[in-house]
Structure 1
Amino acid sequence: MDESRKTGQWFSEVSKETCPGQSFSLEMDDVLDQRKSKYQDILLFQSRTYGKVLVLDGMIQVTERDEFAYQEMMVHMPMFSHPNPQKVLIVGGGDGGILREVVKHDCVQSVVQCEIDEEVINVSRKFLPSLSSAFEHPKFKLHIGDGFEFLKNHQGEFDVIITDSSDPVGPAEGLFGAAYYQLLKNALRTGGIVCSQGESIWLHLDFIKRLMNSCRELFPVVDYASISIPSYPCGQIGAILCGLNPQTNFRSALRAPDEHTGSTWNLRYYTPRVHSTACILPLFAEKELFS
């Protein structure tokens, strides 16, 4: 069982399953919302140095200070690796940050989000407007329900699918298995791309290796991109990228934001140079995942 505790005015993230033997703590100024949904415990607090913080089942999902690193890389790496992504699906992502970045692409004609827990969306709408602003976008359609069931009924429809999930416990556990990636593959159009939260090389290397090996049985191109984000365990998280087109190269952006786009999009992490180096991993991880 994951545990979280408040020691005085501190929140401590403790998970025996996803990051055993370590903890990450943030000083709290105020608890803004705390509720239990049908699927998980939800906590939203104002921190001293990281802005507002969203916590699900005791694990930090988003902080206002560093969320842009995760959102930008999870979206723009797959989107700029596709020649013309018109139809996009987001699975999870109830805080709205992934959606915020997707709709910046003018080529997108429609974006659907499948989120199982509507309460996460409600909390984000109320307390995290910097992330949830795109929920009113005209190209957006929200579906509340299970991602597995949604994918079964929408085959061959999407150019890019982004899975923004919490760690592989609780309601997100099924989003890290071979059966789920088979459904993702079936839901893609020709040349489609999948990007999924891929855990940390410092904590979950064996798990990542098994998952990537399963993906290689389904997709001709599979890669892992590293993202630096201090509020996640060990300060690092990854994106697993899978492509149906054998010519897809996730280590070189096929398209890129121009100077005007970069300024109007308010990008703070993603650049074409960051894109091109994100899949260059430390030697221990490179050996384990690609040899």
Structure 2
Amino acid sequence: MNQIKDGWFSEINGDWPGQCFSLEVDKILYNEKSDFQDILVFESKHNGTVLVLDGIIQCTQKDEFSYQEMLTFLPLCSHPNPRKVLIVGGGDGGVAREVVKHPMVEEVVQVEIDEKVVMASKKFLPFMAKGFDSPKVTLHICDGFEFMKNHSEEFDVIITDSSDPIGPAANLFTEHYYGLLKNALKPNGIISCQIGSIWLDLPHMKKTMENCRKHFPVVNYATSSVPSYTDGQLGYMVATLDASIDLKKPVFKFTEKQIEELELRYYNDEIHSASYVWPTFVRKFLR
């Protein structure tokens, strides 16, 4: 709450010094400290409902679909048969909402450590939390690390929908975590996770990809536009255990009719391939 002054919320954080992103606040809907983090939900003037964790914007109603769709369909549409999916995190329900749209997905298991995020999202972000209503989804309130230790070669795709590598999410960017993902995947499994903006911390991105490459033979990086995030851009690390898979080429392509019926607003097969094109300075640094 101390980040709201004169009717504006400002995302001020030491991890991106010298800049901030601000939204004009219309109404505070929810503010509580859970066992893991500070949770704030407010109605903004122009971006709809906003979810903030530990002072960092997680999503706004205006543009959340870009992040949810890309994090979800980059791995799902690259897998030849993604029948069973694990979501780690994603307590707002947005990724679950998208995963169940894929016609090949039969079962979705989700593990979220903070039940209060789920409860707040169900009440104040129903346009995202409706993902939990699907009969395909089984939600467990527990630690993702502990869950995966007890599940081996079970999932076709694992999607990690985490906040930035601060606080409870910090361990989701380590080599140990990617080892757990590998063990929980079937032999041709694919993972995806967010790893930040090319404009904020390229060394962190490179280190994260190096951690992942110690367990996955194919690791790539894609981007999408998300205006409500600090630099208006977010990156997704996608990796597979199957060296024959070209992550840049979707093996499943939604028809125009499916795109309309499933209400996809950002993702399509052309965006899929184009999202893996890196600017020159990123290509030089990461390679």
TM range (shorter): over 0.9
Amino acid at match of 1:50: N
Quote the offset at 1:81 in angstroms: 0.2
The 5-angstrom pairing of residues 232-271 of structure 1 reads 232-271=229-268
Kindly, what percent of the aligned residue pairs are identical? 53
Query: Which residue of 1 is the match for residue 210 of structure 2?
Result: 213
2:107 to 106, 110, 131: 110
Query: Which residue of 2 is the match for residue 11 of structure 1?
Result: 9
Amino acid at match of 1:279: Y
Q: Return 5+ residue gaps in structure 1 as ranges.
A: none
Query: Does the residue aligned with 1:233 lie in a helix, a strand or coil?
Result: coil
Quote the offset at 1:179 in angstroms: 0.2
2:188 to 191, 194, 199: 191
Query: Which residue of 2 is the match for residue 83 of structure 1?
Result: 80
Whole-angstrom distance in 1 between the partners of 2:68 and 2:131: 13
Q: Does the 8 A contact of 1:4 with 1:12 survive in 2?
A: no
Query: Which residue of 2 is the match for residue 36 of structure 1?
Result: 33
Q: Does the 8 A contact of 2:95 with 2:131 survive in 1?
A: no
Q: Does the 8 A contact of 1:4 with 1:58 survive in 2?
A: no
1:107-141, CA deviations, whole angstroms, 9 ceiling, x for partnerless residues?
11110100000000000000111101121211110
Confirm whether residue 148 of structure 1 aligns to residue 148 of structure 2.
no
Quote the offset at 1:287 in angstroms: 1.1
Query: Does the residue aligned with 2:196 lie in a helix, a strand or coil?
Result: coil
Runs of 4+ in 1 over 2 A off after TM superposition: none
Amino acid at match of 1:28: V
Query: Which residue of 2 is the match for residue 231 of structure 1?
Result: 228
Q: Does the 8 A contact of 2:175 with 2:214 survive in 1?
A: no
Q: Does the 8 A contact of 2:111 with 2:142 survive in 1?
A: yes
Quote the offset at 1:264 in angstroms: 0.6
User: What is the number of equivalent residue pairs in this alignment?
Assistant: 287
Quote the offset at 1:31 in angstroms: 0.3
Task: Kindly report the root-mean-square deviation, in angstroms, between the aligned alpha carbons of the 2 structures.
Answer: 1.0
1:141-176, CA deviations, whole angstroms, 9 ceiling, x for partnerless residues?
011111110110111100000000000010101000
Q: Return 5+ residue gaps in structure 2 as ranges.
A: none
Amino acid at match of 1:222: V
Query: Does the residue aligned with 1:275 lie in a helix, a strand or coil?
Result: helix
Query: Does the residue aligned with 1:39 lie in a helix, a strand or coil?
Result: coil
The 5-angstrom pairing of residues 271-282 of structure 1 reads 271-282=268-279
Whole-angstrom distance in 1 between the partners of 2:49 and 2:83: 33
Query: Does the residue aligned with 1:15 lie in a helix, a strand or coil?
Result: coil
TM-score normalized by structure 2?
0.98
Q: Does the 8 A contact of 2:190 with 2:239 survive in 1?
A: yes
Whole-angstrom distance in 2 between the partners of 1:109 and 1:272: 22
Whole-angstrom distance in 1 between the partners of 2:191 and 2:2: 32
Confirm whether residue 285 of structure 1 aligns to residue 282 of structure 2.
yes
Query: Does the residue aligned with 1:245 lie in a helix, a strand or coil?
Result: coil
Query: Which residue of 2 is the match for residue 65 of structure 1?
Result: 62
1:62-108, CA deviations, whole angstroms, 9 ceiling, x for partnerless residues?
10000000000000110000001000000000000000000001211
TM-score normalized by structure 1?
0.97
Whole-angstrom distance in 2 between the partners of 1:139 and 1:278: 29
